[in-house]
Structure 1
Amino acid sequence: MESTNVYNKFVTALEQQNHNRTQQRLCVALSGGVDSVVLLHLCHQYAKLNGTVKLEAIYVNHGLSDNALMWQQFCTQLCAQLAVPFRAVSVDIQAKSRTSLEAQARDARYLALDTHASKDATLVLGQHADDQIETLLIRLKRGSGLQGLGAMRAKTQLASGRYCIRPLLDIERKDIEAFAQTFSLTHIEDESNHSDVFDRNFLRNQVIPLLKSRFSGFVPSVLRSISILQAQQALIDEIAQSDLESCSDKKQLDIARLTGLSALRQSNAVRAWFAKQGISMPSQKQLAQILDQAINGREDAQVNILLRSGSVKRYNALLYWVPKNHIELADIENISLTAEMKLADGRTLLTISSEGVRAPLATESVTIRFGRINEKIKPFGKPGRNSVKHWLKEAKVPSWERTQIPMVYYNDTLVAVAGYFINSDYAEKSGINWQIQDAE
């Protein structure tokens, strides 16, 4: 591929992935290798021709090579020559069991790029067509499903909301190297790239060259298959989102509605439910357990399926996600009746003017207390006097949520259970009440 074609293909991909934005900031992830050096030059040329585009670059020093500081210096000098604002960031990688060093380095790199790039910048990454095929083969070896076999997306969004784009994904390594040679672009060589100890290097150095030599047009054919897989996954995601909406009851899943779906769509709806809440996906075994206990279990069965960051519980024909990081809520003494008050778990307690309880007297202090569910109260509009626990159970509040509900006291008298009921002895038509607003 000629150098002009490389640039044109890069520009087309860049503008498609970034929605034709020309008034923007691009941050290049610069390692000093041939891929990122060519990417920097392509972005530099693009910025020169589009005066509204700002450009910057970041080098992430993982400290895994004795040459890391030398590579950092190379990147510093390269950006100085091109007058591109540059930043070097060092990260400390702590070895973890059951996680490859490569994966840890990648995660640390993305976090560093996201943290240190300008707030309005789009991250531009240098992965190319050969990297895409390596990713496909690695995931095939792991037994990945359709989503995994779709390999890398041209555009992804980080947890922070920032976008990453990969405008070289349709360009082969040989064309990138030819571009560098044509324009005499110097770059560094990472010595670890020659070690076949790493799976990705083995594929890059031994397997993919053999496949290319054997099968004409191998790379374009594989890229076409990946594109088809991604399109099919996108369709499945659309169906899953539609099913999730039809099965959702606030943040919970309605088991009766879920049961009305086919087995495959049940699985996809539950996966979409996890994804929407930012929860790590359960394994196939765990997913099967969730569906079996939710759908086939007795109505009064106590379902509690433990996962890494929390558990799936069943209550009143609904599935709940309960995070593990439970926050103990302490009583709050002598509060003023402001419009809203933040609680320690991120929720907001709202004070509203409505049919509720009378305002406190000058001699009454207002206190918020938690967990006193054995306290007796006669709710307005309810027959008799009973414990808060009794009334919350009647209101079908899950047992694990009951101790997290703010209880409002005037001195030592319970006058309201926020969001649920008020003390009939304190009721007033033009009074005040309390509601709970979930954390964002």
Structure 2
Amino acid sequence: MSDTEKTIANTMVDSRLTYGEYTADPTDVIISREDYKNRLYGFWLAQCIANWTGLVTEMDKIGIPTKDGKGGGFYTRDDWGKPDRPNLWGSNTYSETIDFLYAAEDSIWGADDDTDIEYIYQTLLYENETSILTGEQIREGWLKHIKTEEENFLWVSNQTALDLMQKGMVPPATGDPSNNADYEMIDAQLTTEIFGFFAPTRPDVALKMARLPIQNVARQNAEWISEFNVIMYSLAPLANPNKSMKENLTWMASEAGKRLPDDSYSAKMYDFVKTRYESGSTWEETRDALHEKYQVRQEDGYEWATKDKVCNGCFAAGINFGASIISLFYGEGNLKETIKIGALCGWDSDNPTATWGGLLGFMLGKEGVEKAFDMKFAEKFNIHRTRVGFPNNGIDDFNNMAEKGIYIIDRVVQEEIGGGIDLNKDVWYIPKSGWTIAPGK
């Protein structure tokens, strides 16, 4: 008997799920559940590192200053390690210096809006024993786990959606432009990427799972951008180990970019950044050109710098998507460099850093993240920093969070993908499909 044929004692079994028989097809994609759990741990860990690092510079620099003169201009790479400037609200609470911010091994991570809504969605999927959440399940989950009064760490479209839920409205109506004027803000693209990991190698299923959570708060470009991120996450398990991280990310982004309608400003922003990157421009030059083209000249139908009277579209999906693509391309698969560029790029800087930090953390796994920083990190996570209503006074840990993700995928593989789980070999069998990534509508 070969090593691959030996059975193992599997302790990772979901008591809520009946594991059915499955006859594997030779063309199935085979994925190790234990390896995937390690990658999900890496996702949560690196997302937290990136999120908290990005918080240091969040809303410090937004290009066009506000009416009271705050936020003008941008950082450059030379500002790394230098003093952090106050944000639009006059605060630099998190750090006096622009640098990586993390929870050391003997401490605990705090939740933030880049991690807590994903945590809620994972919990709702598991507790409701479903792969596809209903609008009512989303509404009930939000009302249970999100405080209705400030400070509830909720802004723009998310806050509007919560207000509408309190009045009895159910998703997707909460994200409809006729009800929610913030439908093209950043919210969905930082709260729904995880659905890509729940449908490994199958963007078609990932998009089906993410559709209602995205439409809870987003439409049009904000929806397509969120779907771009979901596709990136879903394709990550298909990364070719014989190719560089940069090569894999380039392929993944090219595939995900097909979701952006050709005539949308999000597609044009993506193409603009990619072209500038390939031309040899520095990331600062590309960021400045992005700002000039879309916030100053408002080309390709991008009008949020004018429509938003508070901070010139600093929370908008579009300009922050452009910034995220800058950090994705120029970071070239290097976790620390990607986080640095995202943190210095401007606008809502904790969001792009968390998105790509989470993706790269998954691709590296727990040990890969630790190696990148040459240190060990805290593994505990306090969801009650920003949300409420969870057991153990809100204290969880990445190992448990990753295992819950595995159980969700077990159900998805059986019920949505039509594949199977071999608990003896500890693998998923995922059928290939004829899916194509069609432009969003």
- TM-score bracket relative to the smaller structure: under 0.3
- TM-score normalised per structure 2: 0.24
- Larger % of helix: which? 2
